[in-house]
């Protein structure tokens, strides 16, 4: 007899290289707890339906406990000859308890088994990712509160645009991570249906109770179509899409931190514990963590391309191609979790050079829009105001001064409607304070948003 659970119809052994090439234990062994949980639920259901005896169930449950303990103790030996986590566990169970173990696979296929295990495993990992996102959001809200009044230049086209507060800038990322969390939760809700009982593709001839297993495993309901159940990998595509978008957000944040830490910006300094030096240039302190996080976006997005391409044009139902579904999503989740963790740990110890930020916001004519707004309040049409301020800026560049330093004569010379009181009233503090409406950058609004976020995040944790 062959050592393979499916060996009956085969005469010759598997080619040695094929055995290794075909195996997925190195990837799917990490789903052992979910595989065992699925088997427990399936065995209980079979017993409730009088398909398995109580004695067999008792032996199976005890045997599965032992197998799980062996895996956790590190004494279990996964073998590629048994291809995947499912057959490794089933074989070990059978070695331990005999015929009862051989009965476990009644009314089940590895196709519904792997679909179930993967959903269970990714559900757990999604919950862990959500916790990481929430922690990072909390860190950002605390920092935003601390920097509600810290003025910095806001950029468009990476050119100085208008002054903003650092708190406001940080809260922009809290919003992005909120949408990321929502995408993960949405995908989680949609995938929380139980494929078990779909068997190979068409269902089973046994009188099974699919609602029982679904409930036992914490799914909302059994899936509605057996063919779809074993061939659907939408949940992996959705989770990888969510992970990709989240990693894109992190890469944008990374890029800003890297720029801000350069000597040319000097806005911040990241803690030593999160930077490294150069082996040749003694002066260097490199922002490796944001750089690495920025880089991780590449492989996570690559994972999304990989699963989309694997699934494209696949006929129903299960195809072996689909064994390639796990590596990319596991890698993406591992790395995204690492990125979120490193950011949450690093940011509280970031040094913010407030004077530099203020200096940068005060140069580059960041208050120009506010001068135009002052003219509009004095009944100058906006397009005229824009032109007047444009000329004022050109004058200031020639003279090497800032707008608020313009002498009265120069103002009058540019346009009679341009009052020296208007230019003298310009300050970056006034600029940010004036943007005092929902979503504006005013310190008041930042503090208000922080309060809202704290309440929301507390309730998410509860
Ligand atoms: N190792 C396989 C996978 O990950 C399990 C399902 C195999 N099913 C099959 N009929 N060969 O997709």
CA distance 427 to 225: 65
278 classed as catalytic = yes
* pLDDT given for residue 1 in this prediction: 45
Degrees, nearest 5: CA angle 200-201-204? 70
Instruction: Enter the tokens of residue 14.
Output: 């598997």
157 classed as catalytic = yes
Measured over all CA atoms, what is the biggest interatomic distance in the chain, rounded to whole angstroms?
103
Active-site position among 26, 278, 363, 437: 278
With CA atoms as reference, report the closest residue to 237 among 185, 201, 187. 187
* pLDDT given for residue 420 in this prediction: 97
Residue 383 has a CB neighbour count (10 Å cut-off) of 10
Instruction: Answer whether 147's CB lies under 8 Å from 165's CB.
Output: yes
* pLDDT given for residue 223 in this prediction: 98
β-pairing, 351-352 with 221-222?
unpaired
Nearest CA to ligand 1 atom 2: 323
Burial 86-122 (b: 16+ CB within 10 A, else e): bbbbbbbbbebbeebbebbbbbbbbbbbbbbbbbbbb
- Residue 323 Cβ contacting ligand 1 at under 6 Å: yes
| C-alpha of residue 324 to centroid of ligand 1, in Å | 10
- Locate the DSSP E strands across 26-92: none
With CA atoms as reference, report the closest residue to 184 among 336, 344, 347, 38. 336
Topology (CATH) of 7-106:
Fumarase C; Chain B, domain 1 (1.10.275)
Question: How would DSSP label each residue in 320-358?
Answer: GGGGGHHHHHHHHHHHHHHHHHHHHHHGGG-EE-HHHHH
| C-alpha of residue 108 to centroid of ligand 1, in Å | 13
Q: Give the class (CATH, top level) of 111-352.
A: mainly alpha
CA distance 434 to 421: 17
The pTM of the full predicted model, rounded to 2 decimals, is 0.95
| Residue 393: Cβ-neighbour burial (10 angstroms; 0-12, 13-18, 19+) | middle
How far, rounded to the nearest angstrom, does the alpha carbon of residue 57 sit from its chain's CA centroid? 40
Q: Which of 22, 26, 114 to mutate to test the pocket of ligand 1 (most atoms within 8 A of CB)?
A: 114
CA distance 361 to 429: 10
CA distance 297 to 192: 27
CA distance 175 to 155: 18
Taking the domains of the chain in order of start, what are their residue ranges? 7-106, 111-352, 360-460
**Which residue intervals of 192-225 are DSSP H helices?**
210-216
| C-alpha of residue 114 to centroid of ligand 1, in Å | 7
Q: pLDDT tens digits, residue range 127-146?
A: 999 999 999 999 999 999 99
Peptide bond into 317 cis (omega under 30): yes
Instruction: Answer whether 166's CB lies under 8 Å from 147's CB.
Output: yes
Atom of ligand 1 nearest to the CA of 28: 4
H-run or E-run covering 34? helix 32-48
Domain 360-460 architecture = Orthogonal Bundle (1.10)
* pLDDT given for residue 462 in this prediction: 59
- Locate the DSSP E strands across 209-264: 221-222
Instruction: Enter the tokens of residue 219.
Output: 């799914």
* List of the chain residues with pLDDT < 70: 1-2, 461-462
- Residue 406 Cβ contacting ligand 1 at under 6 Å: no
Secondary structure (3-state) at 221: strand
Instruction: Enter the tokens of residue 422.
Output: 């208007």
H-run or E-run covering 163? strand 159-165
CA distance 377 to 371: 10
Instruction: Answer whether 173's CB lies under 8 Å from 133's CB.
Output: no
CA distance 439 to 121: 38
204, 327, 34, 109: CA torsion to nearest 10: 20
């Amino acid at each position: 007899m062959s050592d393979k659970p499916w060996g009956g119809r085969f005469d010759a052994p598997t080619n040695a290289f094929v055995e290794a090439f075909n195996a997925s234990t190195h990837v799917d062994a990490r789903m052992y707890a979910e595989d065992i949980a699925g088997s427990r639920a399936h065995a209980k259901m079979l017993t409730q339906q009088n398909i398995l005896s109580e004695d067999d169930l008792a032996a199976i449950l005890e045997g599965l406990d032992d197998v799980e303990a062996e895996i956790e103790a590190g004494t279990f030996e996964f073998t590629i000859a048994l291809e995947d986590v499912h057959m490794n566990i089933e074989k070990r169970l059978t070695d331990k308890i005999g015929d009862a173990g051989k009965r476990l696979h009644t009314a089940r296929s590895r196709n519904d088994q792997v679909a179930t295990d993967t959903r269970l495993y990714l559900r757990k990992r999604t919950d862990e990712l959500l916790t990481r996102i929430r922690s990072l959001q909390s860190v950002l809200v605390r920092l935003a509160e601390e920097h509600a009044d810290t003025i910095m230049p806001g950029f468009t086209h990476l050119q100085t645009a208008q002054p903003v507060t650092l708190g406001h800038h940080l809260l922009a990322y809290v919003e992005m991570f909120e949408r990321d969390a929502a995408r993960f939760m949405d995908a989680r809700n949609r995938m929380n249906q139980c494929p078990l009982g779909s068997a190979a593709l068409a269902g089973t001839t046994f009188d099974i109770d699919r609602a029982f297993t679904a409930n036992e495993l914490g799914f909302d309901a059994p899936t509605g179509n057996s063919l779809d159940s074993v061939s659907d990998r939408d949940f992996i595509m959705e989770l990888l899409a969510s992970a990709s978008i989240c990693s894109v957000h992190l890469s944008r944040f990374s890029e800003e931190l890297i720029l801000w830490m350069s000597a040319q910006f000097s806005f911040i300094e990241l803690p030593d514990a999160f930077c490294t030096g150069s082996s040749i240039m003694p002066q260097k302190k490199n922002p490796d963590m944001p750089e690495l996080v920025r880089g991780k976006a590449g492989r996570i997005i690559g994972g999304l391309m990989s699963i989309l391409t694997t699934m494209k044009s696949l006929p129903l139902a299960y195809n072996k191609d689909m064994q390639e579904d796990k590596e990319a999503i596991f890698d993406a989740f591992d790395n995204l979790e690492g990125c979120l963790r490193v950011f949450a740990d690093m940011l509280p110890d970031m040094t913010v050079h407030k004077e530099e930020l203020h200096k940068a916001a005060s140069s580059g004519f960041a208050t120009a829009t506010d001068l135009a707004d002052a003219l509009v309040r004095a009944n100058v049409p906006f397009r005229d105001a824009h032109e007047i301020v444009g000329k004022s800026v050109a004058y200031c560049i020639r003279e090497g001064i800032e707008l608020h330093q313009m002498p009265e004569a120069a103002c009058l010379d540019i346009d009679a409607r341009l009052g020296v009181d208007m230019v003298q009233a310009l300050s970056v503090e006034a600029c940010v304070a004036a943007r005092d409406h929902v979503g504006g950058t005013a310190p008041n609004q930042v503090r208000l948003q922080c309060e809202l976020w704290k309440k929301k995040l507390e309730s998410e944790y509860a």
